[in-house]
Structure 1
Amino acid sequence: MFIHVGSDKVLVKFIVSKFIKDYSNISNKKVRENYGILSSIMGLIVNLILFVIELSIGIFINSIAVIADAFHNLADVSASVITLIGFKLSNKPADKEHPFGHGRVEYLSALLVSAIILLVGVEFIKTSFLRILSPEPVSFNLISFIIMLIAIPLKLWLSLFNKNIGKKINSSALKASGADALNDVYILSSVILSLLVSAFSTISIDGYVGVLIGALIIWSAVNLMKDTIDPLLGQAPDPNLVKSIKKMALKCDVILGVHDLIIHNYGPGRTMISFHAEVPYNIPIMTLHSKIDETEKRISEELDIFVVIHMDPLLIGSPEVSEAKRYVSKILKDFPSVQSFHDFRIVGDGEDKKLIFDIVVPFDVDISEKKLSKLGDDIKSEIIRRHPHYDCVITVDRDYSGI
């Protein structure tokens, strides 16, 4: 009845290699779509087989329980269809209405499957509570027992198959399908346990086991929903991706620093990034433009993402600017909520000079917009108090990169 994880991975790889051309190239959108289609078809096949077997036997022996479980498998078929449609729609090319493609459809299909899992959990708890309030004897039926013993390894294998592929291609939809199949294993196991207890005693544990399994199903559904909703709401990007982008940008010999990095997720494999690159002010603009274009192209090709870089010229080699940056840096140490500062420059002549720069406050600092504005004013007042010959223009930024 148990499936060894190592052998399961071997079987998954064997099936994938037989049905998906160039299966190792998961960065390719078409290959990724084929993974999703294969997984959905496997779910369709397994659940349809169980549906036909259980429905036929249920009608033959006149068992409502077996027929009910048959239609539960039919509901799982609908989840596989939703996943299949989600993968097909998410890979549609960009159009006028959706210039960044339809990748988020995959998140929506995962959310819909998660909602189905949640509904199953709620209904299971509801039925189980009624069974606790009004206990009914559970009759042991050998045929039902055998059917469930056959269904468990099939559902368990399907769960591992979907989870392995979901992890490989980072698909929330397939992870949800894997969790759905695993929940079926829990349900079948609880029914088998109840049948075994009823065969050897008069104790009814049916309702209590059902409540426990229902709670487990709801818990998994809520976690799946959270994992699916987060990217739709705009979750913080992967820190490793952020580090890779900054590292690749700084390989360009004219880029001195990177800030205001924003990553937009339009679905798996469909990402747009933008950031500000600090460049020397005294290099010809056409040279800088060419270097920035080369960097955009290099990052885009290596990471398969759309890149936009904004240039921020820096005045380098100025003793006055260097000195001003040093004392501003020292003053900012008295403001622990400030993570860093950038775009530092001095404008004006004579006594009419302004320090202009941005400060960065990370999102883990819980502070209102009003307090953010006051923070900028407090820093400005402190700088002017210590160095009255300067005025200040301070912009307060948030760190959208998450690190």
Structure 2
Amino acid sequence: MDDAEQSRFARASWVNVLGNAAKIVVEGAVGLAFGSVALLADAAHSIADLVASIVVLIWGQARFKDPDATHPHGHSRIEPLTALFVGVAIALLGINLLYESVQGLLADEFAQFSYLLLGALAFAIADMYAVYWYTKRVNEDLGSTALSALATDCLNDIYTSLAVVAGVLGVLLGYPLLDPLAGALVSVLVVYQGVSIGRENVSYLVGAAPSDEQRAAVRETIQSHPDVQGVHDLVVFYDGTVLEVEAHAEVDGGLPLREAHDVESELVDMLRAEEDVGDAHVHLDPSGVGEWKDAEENN
């Protein structure tokens, strides 16, 4: 990763921090002024988003560090760890918002309607769409799971704000219970979003296997080399957000050492060029020996 990419990552993170801060101030102030549970829930959701954005800003840039003595394979797992923190924070806040919404349903006092409520929501939707658009645009080349989590959160913020609009319109039309009901809906969506982000990034952290299609593509790449006669003991797993490949390729046992070395280097380069593959380790074996651990995988 070069300095330009790190700078773009930092700018996108800052845009998320400032965008969420602005949403919190506007929705929080108006929600408090008119007692809207739904608007306060939407603003509180953005507090978790703000914390998540700050965490991505601080921790997320570790992905750009080169391997060192303490992290010989690089720092790629820091990013899914950051995104996992985002997901957990969002889910916990959603549970709290659901509790507050239920309390609002049981309360005797409801929100007072004001067009400022709709104005604050219009600002929130426009604000989050701008942040979403910018984050997605920056992340097209970076492929950051942390920025992807923030962009998804921005998009979900728009949906939750639309739900709050329905609650505020309910207050206008004489159905004040719609305000805490909208808050409850927002809360459920927030919890679902947090759990989804968490599950995805746990798979990166525990070294989960990729899809069958990705594994098949790796095998096909190895077998496409003209000197490879078979593949066995193929292992493909996530190391952070990228794939690690370990494989034994079968070649003619009579190949001179220098030619065998060239074949191995070519295979590693071919695999590293594959989408989502970060590193590859290839061991060459003479074909026809038939003593492999995974003999059924040959050819």
TM-score class normalised by the smaller sequence: 0.7 to 0.9
The structure where helix makes up a greater share of residues is: 2
Change (3 A) 1:242 1:136: same
Q: Which has the higher contact order (CA 8 A, sep 6+)?
A: 2
Match of 1:275 among 247, 258, 269: 247
1:308-327 to structure 2, matched below 5 A, reads: 308-315=281-288
Q: Which moved more, 1:89-98 or 1:246-255?
A: 246-255
Residue in structure 1 matched with residue 261 of structure 2 by the alignment: 289
Give distance in 2, aligned partners of 1:267 and 1:359.
26
C-alpha deviations, 1:292-327, integer Å up to 9, x for none? 234334544676743322122124xxxxxxxxxxxx
Give distance in 1, aligned partners of 2:99 and 2:44.
18
Residue in structure 1 matched with residue 132 of structure 2 by the alignment: 159
Aligned residue pairs: how many?
Answer: 295
Query: Normalized against structure 2, the TM-score is what?
Result: 0.81
> What's the offset of the Cα at 1:220?
1.8
Residue in structure 1 matched with residue 71 of structure 2 by the alignment: 98
Residue in structure 2 matched with residue 191 of structure 1 by the alignment: 164
1:1-400 to structure 2, matched below 5 A, reads: 28=1, 30=3, 32-53=5-26, 73-163=46-136, 165-166=138-139, 169-239=142-212, 241-268=214-241, 271-300=243-272, 305-315=278-288, 344=290, 356=291, 358-359=293-294
Query: Normalized against structure 1, the TM-score is what?
Result: 0.62
SS at match of 1:206: helix
Give distance in 1, aligned partners of 2:40 and 2:185.
23
Gaps of 5+ in 2: none
Give distance in 2, aligned partners of 1:82 and 1:203.
37
Gaps of 5+ in 1: 1-27, 316-342, 345-355, 362-396
Q: Which moved more, 1:82-91 or 1:153-162?
A: 153-162
Change (3 A) 1:259 1:131: same
C-alpha deviations, 1:318-362, integer Å up to 9, x for none? xxxxxxxxxxxxxxxxxxxxxxxxx52xxxxxxxxxxx454467x
Give 1 or 2 for the bigger CA radius of gyration.
1
Contact 1:139–1:195 (Cα < 8 Å) also in 2 = no
SS at match of 1:132: helix
SS at match of 2:67: coil
Change (3 A) 1:167 1:128: farther
Change (3 A) 1:289 1:181: closer
Change (3 A) 1:67 1:285: closer
Alpha-carbon RMSD across the aligned residues, in angstroms, is: 3.3
Give distance in 2, aligned partners of 1:360 and 1:218.
45
